[in-house]
Chains A and B, each alone.
Chain A
Amino acid sequence: MQYEATIGLETHVMQKTNTKMFCACKYEYGAEPNTHVCPVCLGYPGALPVMNEKAIELCCKAGLLLGCEINPYSKWDRKNYFYPDMAKNYQITQADQPLCLGGQLTVDVDGEMKTFTIERIHQEENAAKNTHVAGASLVDYNRAGTALMEIVSNPCMHSAEDALAYMTAVKQIMQYGGISNCDQEKGQMRSDVNVSVRPVGQKELGAKVEIKNMNSFAFIKEAIEYEIDRQTALLESGGTVDQETRGYDPDRGETFTQRTKENAHDYRYFPEPDLMPVKIPAEQIEQWRSELPELPAQRRVRYVQELGLPEYDAGVLTADMATSDWFEQAMRHTKNAKAVSNFIMGEMMRLLSEQNCSISESNVTPEKLAGIVALIDAKTISTGAGKQVFEIIFNDGGDPKAIVEERGMAQVSDDSALEGWADEAIANNPKPVEEYKAGNPASINFLMGQVMKASRGKANPGAVMQMLKQKLDR
């Protein structure tokens, strides 16, 4: 029998707000433990939550970017469970009326365009951070109550590759949209993965296994693959899969049981009496929509259609937001998109990876690259010289024009200088001259090379070619 896997993702994304979801404490990664805490986020007696308007805006914008409907009426609920990282022992979240409903995302999975659907996005608050020491655990509440939204996909994926492509796209969109930095190392993007397996052709989904709280894409991929294999093997051997919550142990490359169905939490959701509902008018949604940045997919199309770049270039440039933004900035200073693209994909990416730094740290600014391209386009320097200038600036900084002048890198187009080198090449190389005259036009290239060599690369190749042809065709 053939089996197929079905995968759904619950992706938690920490929003880029200054303060926490329901109190004015600052969100700052890496601060001294328990220094950004107050009665609200510590769950002290008498403290009350108040909504952060920026978080609501960012959650709705995330929804708009992912094609969701913004719910005109949404409300808050308490989700009850005891855990030391949850100060009130209930989490404020949205159960039946989330901020965003529906949505979809079309992504390229190994060359095939697939559309994955999103059920909802709801706003909630983050938990504190636990660290484990000998015989005890330590809790730092700095992260407690920070703005966290949960993007819930439908069970619409069927492989680890699908899930990875989906998460990569979500991450890219959240970064483009300024919703979140999605820094997985800092726990800003974590996912719960639901995996089930059923015989092909069976209508109902198989028993759902939830793998909780993973931040590394690599581990998520491993966990999904392991889980599909485990469940398939169980079914093939005539066994049944238990609905349960599992964890992933990356060291062993295995998932393990954390909580069985019988021990599942009873969250006892009920409407949060301390918070009022949210009503979002249509004008507000349109305002937010007008503020949305262009998404990678839209940029790709524009790069091809309006800037005339090849599909390949457009894909590389938009793969991450920093690169794409850098390209956009360079394009404010030049019209030669292809030249800028070639430099970014070539010199820039090579040097960045050699020196392990990011494009924003590069000495070559968008404006300077535009300057180099302008010098090439004006034929002041050759493309080769341009690459040298790029590398010089990348390593030591400096201004393109000044470097060309200081180092005498400008091309020579002056006839008198060229004539001397051309005559010399013709005189010293009778054989290629004869071949050319006998009807082999390629032989002129050798002479051309000799001139360039004599000029130490500074001769303008077009001018040299014209001069040689003039002399030989006479």
Chain B
Amino acid sequence: MADLHKLTIYELSEKLAAGACTSVDIVNDVLASIDATDGKVGAYLTIDRASALEQAKVADALRAEGSTLPMLGIPVAIKDLLNVKGQPCTCSSKILEGYTAPYDATVIAKLREAGTVLLGRVNMDEFAMGSSTENAALGKTSNPWNLKHVPGGSSGGSAACVAADEAIAALGSDTGGSIRQPAAFCGCVGVKPTYGRVSRYGLTAFASSLDQIGPISKTVKDSALLLEVLCGHDKMDSSSIDMDVPAFGKSLTADTSLAGIKLGLPKEYFVEGMDPEVEKTVRDAVDHCKSLGAEIVDVSLPHSKYAIAVYYIIATAEASANLARFDGIRYGLRVDGKDPIELYGKTRAVGFGSEVKRRIILGTYVLSSGYYDAYYLKAQKVRTLIRNDFTAAFKQCDAILAPVTPTPAYKLGEKTDDPLKMYLDDILTTPVNLAGNCALSLPCGFSSSGLPIGLQIIGDSFAEETILKIGHAYEQTTEWHTRKPEIS
């Protein structure tokens, strides 16, 4: 084993181009790494060994013919809510038992076109509902930095497999922080793109007006490259924005100066009850950016404190309709009944886990007759106020710095009995989904117990280039991203 699995996309691409290794070598190393560690981490739901090796062979052949596709031969893991033709797509739920996706999600098609090797599918909170990957029907995932701790969620499998070097990078999805929070908990880089940047076609919907697919990787530059592959207008998604995609990867240079860049610091994001180590680490990161030449300005996002309330109304309402299709009629699990109504009730009782049931019921309630105006409509209006806060803030600064989570990764089982407590942890990530703009999470330190802490760089809508540039400069001048967990 040549430790190829420990490298980044850029490092591997260089080796591949130089003929120093083949894609088959890389895939073999990654598979060996999975075999060695996934028994402990539990990131994968399905590993497509044969197919991955086959794809690697094709990639090597293409390279021999002179192909220079951006992701050629790089093995990537997929969050199990993206449709991959001919494969299951469980969303970590029993209700999709037996379902075979008959089509490729747009992002999967884009990965294939870019030469990527699809390794397999990784764990998540059921239907992306959760922040710890504990709401998963098909297996538990641990944090590679401390197996007793959660990897975060809902893209917990994606972050865990990248942190454990069981994939070079992974795809996740972020509805209220589901890429950024697990990336922070596992010491990875994750990007929540601007809503509309990446096509949602083929992404099993949780909350349609908030969901975005994005990369989880080992470095900012890898995320930039992957993001470039994922972005672009798609006629199959009406919310996809018809806009040119910048060369995110190439735009990142060796220049680490942040001179001329104004970074906003929102006082509301250093919340009550925040872990002092997290606060200190993030403030140190802010100072570091200042030392790179950035100007730090105070900004205010006064309505962000309402984000959790707004988020749990809008997201659950949309989810209540989005998940109505899981009814045991056309695909997936069916528990029979004497009539369709009985069949639905039983199938959904057995097929959904508790958190999904809770959210569907909450979402059904806030839309029901007599309550719509009080809950849903009101939440939509406060959503406008949250957006307006960001619009105003971005008149004063180029990007906003904030923590990703109030604490580092907590222990498995610590919060499973208290949904509200778990929801409140999303306070620093949900405002971005509600406003629709973009944000990046990257490692900026470790707690005294050795758990990673993340820095969130929030950008204006379609300002991915700016946050990637800031993140890259920070990463180039720090060493947090080079640390590897000792998995034991």
Contacts and interface: CB of A to CB of B under 8 A. Distances in A.
Contact of A268 (B331, B340, B367): B367
A47 to B, nearest CB: 7
B340 A274 contact: no
Nearest to A79: B321
A112 to B, nearest CB: 41
Contact of B324 (A39, A90, A266, A270): A90
Contacts of A48: 200-201, 236-238
Contacts of B82: 46
B27 to A, nearest CB: 26
Interface in A223-269: 266, 268-269
Contact of B367 (A83, A87, A270, A274): A270
B235 interface: yes
Given A47-B201, A276-B238, A266 B369 contact: yes
Interface in A265-287: 266, 268-270, 273-276
A446 interface: no
A89 interface: yes
A45 B324 contact: no
Nearest to B237: A48
A50 B83 contact: no
Contacts of A87: 325, 330
A371 interface: no
Contacts of B326: 45
B318 A39 contact: no
A187 interface: no
B317 interface: yes
Contacts of A268: 320-321, 364, 367-369, 372
Contact of B340 (A46, A51, A84, A269): A84
Nearest to B317: A270
Given A50-B235, A50-B238, A44 B367 contact: no
Contact of A42 (B89, B201, B330): B330
Interface stretch (B95-103, B136-144, B286-294, B414-422): B95-103
A205 interface: no
Interface string B314-347: 0001101100111101110000000011001000
A274 B208 contact: yes
B369 A89 contact: no
Contacts of B200: 46, 48
B91 A82 contact: no
Nearest to A266: B369
Contacts of B341: 82
A51 B238 contact: yes
A39 B325 contact: no
Contact of A45 (B96, B321, B367): B96
For this complex, into which size category does the number of interface residues on chain B fall? 35 or more
Contacts of A266: 368-369
For A45, A49, A270, A275, which residue has the most chain B Cβ atoms within 10 angstroms? Answer: A45
A42 to B, nearest CB: 6
A26 interface: no
B202 A46 contact: yes
A43 B322 CA distance: 10
B325 A89 contact: yes
Interface in A147-174: none
Contacts of B91: 45
Contact of B103 (A39, A83, A88, A90): A39
Interface in B103-132: 103, 105
B204 A46 contact: yes
B307 interface: no
A394 to B, nearest CB: 51
Interface string B299-312: 00000000000000
Contacts of A450: none
Interface string A34-66: 000001001111111111000000000000000
A139 interface: yes
B83 A139 contact: no
B205 interface: yes
A198 interface: no
* Interface hub of A42, A44, A51 (most chain B Cβ within 10 A): A44
Contacts of B331: 44
B236 A50 contact: yes
Contacts of A49: 238
A82 B204 contact: no
Nearest to A81: B324
B46 interface: no
A46 B201 contact: yes
A89 B325 CA distance: 6
B344 A82 contact: yes
Contact of A78 (B105, B321, B340, B369): B321
Nearest to B99: A45
B239 interface: yes
B83 A46 contact: yes
A87 B329 CA distance: 9
Contacts of A413: none
B238 A89 contact: no
A80 interface: yes
Contacts of A46: 81-83, 89, 101, 105, 200-205
B376 interface: yes
Contacts of A275: 238
B324 A89 contact: yes
Q: Which residue of A48, A51, A84, A88 has the most chain B CB atoms within 10 A of its CB atom? A: A48
Interface string B73-85: 0000000011100
Contacts of B99: 45
A44 B102 contact: yes
A84 B325 contact: no
Contacts of B238: 48-51, 274-276
Nearest to A82: B344
* Closest 10 pairs between A and B when the two form their complex, measured CB to CB: A89-B324, A273-B208, A268-B367, A273-B209, A45-B204, A43-B325, A46-B202, A266-B369, A46-B83, A88-B325
30 contacts: A39-B102, A42-B330, A44-B101, A45-B205, A45-B326, A46-B82, A46-B89, A46-B105, A49-B238, A78-B321, A80-B321, A80-B324, A82-B327, A82-B340, A82-B341, A82-B344, A84-B329, A88-B324, A88-B325, A89-B321, A266-B368, A268-B364, A268-B368, A270-B372, A270-B376, A273-B207, A273-B318, A274-B205, A274-B238, A275-B238
Given A49-B238, A87-B325, A276-B238, 17 more contacts: A39-B83, A46-B101, A46-B105, A46-B201, A46-B204, A46-B205, A47-B202, A48-B201, A50-B235, A78-B321, A80-B321, A82-B327, A84-B329, A89-B325, A268-B372, A273-B209, A274-B238
Interface of A: 39, 42-51, 78, 80, 82-84, 87-90, 139, 141, 266, 268-270, 273-276
Interface of B: 81-83, 89, 91, 96, 99, 101-103, 105, 200-205, 207-209, 235-239, 317-318, 320-321, 324-327, 329-331, 340-341, 344, 364, 367-369, 372, 376
